């Protein structure tokens, strides 16, 4: 089950929402679509799910073009749209049954799949409640159950955890990860920790174009710049003297004093790209008879990569 998107462009009126993006998704991959609001994530998903056609470009799902073989594509995809729309006046089982029937399932197949979905998504206790009475977390699970009811080979989830509380987010992420072991999943989000927690691969999209594509680790590596190291040193020497000695270490570009209380001084060291000064710092501390109370390296987080990529583009 693979998706290949080629040179996809979408205009809304004169506004360009997606500006010629191309990417491939392989079977069994969990792909995170990351980008600020309005970057084109939702538009891309709406096109892949056959909700609306692109202005130009092609999308193939498992070799089926979304134009000519739309029905085959739709059968293969389970979709959770943005904001998780549901029929609030139906109860959970009724709704899942309806979704299954629209996929052409019937009788025995439905009751088996329905039971499984209720179990997998933890809906047992609310199965006969109206969806309108459910909390947001349960509604999200109903939305996911609906997307998976026909056992699709691919799931497309548009912001699956938006509006949930932290516990629910952890549960839904775990659920998505479990599903991702067997299925291809594309999820969109603007929450970075989500991508780190669930995805095998990230595509960062901004203003309709792809600005980065790779595993979360790879992106961090690629965009790793100067690192910051925070140290806390206990010494009888004055803070200024310590700072000067720290500055003389190879690889340290700048030293910033961030506080002193008694004989304890805190510093933030900015280091050159690619250098690791921790070992030398430790040796120096021993030689100078400083007591090293804290030594922390702050690597570039995916968050910083994201800010770098999307702000530079957006600010122009």
Partner 1 sequence: MNALSQYRNIIPIFRKELRSYFNSAVAYVVIVVFLGIVGWFYTSNLFLINSASLRLMFDIVPWVLLLIVPAITMRLLSEEKKSGTIELLVTKPLSDTEIVLGKFLAAWALVGITLAPTLLYYITVASLGNIDHGPVVGGYVGLLLMAGVFVAISLFASSLTENQVIAFIIGFGMVFAFFMLDKILPYVPEWLTTTIEFLGVDYHLGNISRGVIDSRDVVYFLSLLGFTLYLTMLSLNRRKW
Site residues (vs partner 1, CB under 8 A): 46, 49-53, 71, 74-75, 77, 79, 81-83, 85-90, 94, 98-99, 101-104, 146
Return the number of other C-beta atoms located less than 10 Å from residue 93's C-beta: 18
Outline where 103-165 has alpha helix (H). 107-120, 136-148
Shortest distance (Å) from residue 194 CB to partner 1: 22
Rounded Cα distance between 256 and 268, Å, is 5
Rounded Cα distance between 141 and 134, Å, is 10
Instruction: Label residues 254-283 b or e (16+ Cβ within 10 Å = b).
Output: ebeeeeeeeeebbbebebeeeeebbeebee
Rounded Cα distance between 32 and 306, Å, is 13
Q: Which CB atom, from 62 or from 200, has the smaller least distance to partner 1?
A: 62
Q: Which CB atom, from 83 or from 215, has the smaller least distance to partner 1?
A: 83
Q: Which CB atom, from 79 or from 138, has the smaller least distance to partner 1?
A: 79
Q: Which CB atom, from 150 or from 245, has the smaller least distance to partner 1?
A: 150
What are the angstrom distances between the C-alpha of 187 and each of 25, 122, 157, 167, 182?
Answer: 12, 21, 5, 19, 15
Return the number of other C-beta atoms located less than 10 Å from residue 38's C-beta: 14
Shortest distance (Å) from residue 307 CB to partner 1: 30
Shortest distance (Å) from residue 101 CB to partner 1: 4
Radius of gyration of the chain (CA): 25
Shortest distance (Å) from residue 232 CB to partner 1: 52
Confirm if 247 and 268 have CB atoms less than 8 A apart: no
Rounded Cα distance between 307 and 190, Å, is 11
What are the angstrom distances between the C-alpha of 272 and each of 27, 33, 229, 278, 294?
Answer: 40, 31, 11, 13, 20
Q: Which CB atom, from 98 or from 223, has the smaller least distance to partner 1?
A: 98
Shortest distance (Å) from residue 156 CB to partner 1: 9
Three-state DSSP at 190 gives coil
Q: Which CB atom, from 15 or from 181, has the smaller least distance to partner 1?
A: 15
Q: Which CB atom, from 98 or from 282, has the smaller least distance to partner 1?
A: 98
Shortest distance (Å) from residue 43 CB to partner 1: 12
Shortest distance (Å) from residue 143 CB to partner 1: 9
Give the contacts of 299 (CB within 8 A, at least 6 positions apart): 220, 224, 227
Report the candidate in 70, 11, 18 with the shortest Cα–Cα distance to residue 45: 18
Q: Which CB atom, from 85 or from 225, has the smaller least distance to partner 1?
A: 85
Shortest distance (Å) from residue 71 CB to partner 1: 5
């Amino acid at each position: 089950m693979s998706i290949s998107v080629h040179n996809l462009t979408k205009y809304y009126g004169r506004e360009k929402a997606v500006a010629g993006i191309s990417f491939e998704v392989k079977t069994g991959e969990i792909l995170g679509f990351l980008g600020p609001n309005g970057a084109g994530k939702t538009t891309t998903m709406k096109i892949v799910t056959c909700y609306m056609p692109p202005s130009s470009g092609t999308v193939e799902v498992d070799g089926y073009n979304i134009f000519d073989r739309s029905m085959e594509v739709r059968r293969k995809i389970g979709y959770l749209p943005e904001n998780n729309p549901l029929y609030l006046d139906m109860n959970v089982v009724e709704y899942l049954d309806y979704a299954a029937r629209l996929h052409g399932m019937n009788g025995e197949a439905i009751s088996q799949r329905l039971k499984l979905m209720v179990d997998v998504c933890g809906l047992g206790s609310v199965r006969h409640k109206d969806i309108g009475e459910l909390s947001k977390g349960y509604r999200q699970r109903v939305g996911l159950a609906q997307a998976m009811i026909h056992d699709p080979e691919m799931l497309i989830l548009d912001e699956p955890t938006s509006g949930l509380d932290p516990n629910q987010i952890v549960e839904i992420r775990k659920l998505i990860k479990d599903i991702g072991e067997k299925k291809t999943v594309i999820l969109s989000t603007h929450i970075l920790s989500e991508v780190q927690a669930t995805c095998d691969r990230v595509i960062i999209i901004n203003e309709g174009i792809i600005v980065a594509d790779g595993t979360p680790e790879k992106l961090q590596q690629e965009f790793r710049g100067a690192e910051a190291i925070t140290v806390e040193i206990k010494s009888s020497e004055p803070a200024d003297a310590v700072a000067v000695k720290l500055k003389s270490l190879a690889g340290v570009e700048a030293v910033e004093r961030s506080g002193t209380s008694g004989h304890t001084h805190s510093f933030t060291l900015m280091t050159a790209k690619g250098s690791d000064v921790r070992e030398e710092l430790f040796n120096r501390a021993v030689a100078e008879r400083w007591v090293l109370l804290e030594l922390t390296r702050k690597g570039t987080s995916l968050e910083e990569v994201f800010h770098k990529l999307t702000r530079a583009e957006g600010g122009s």
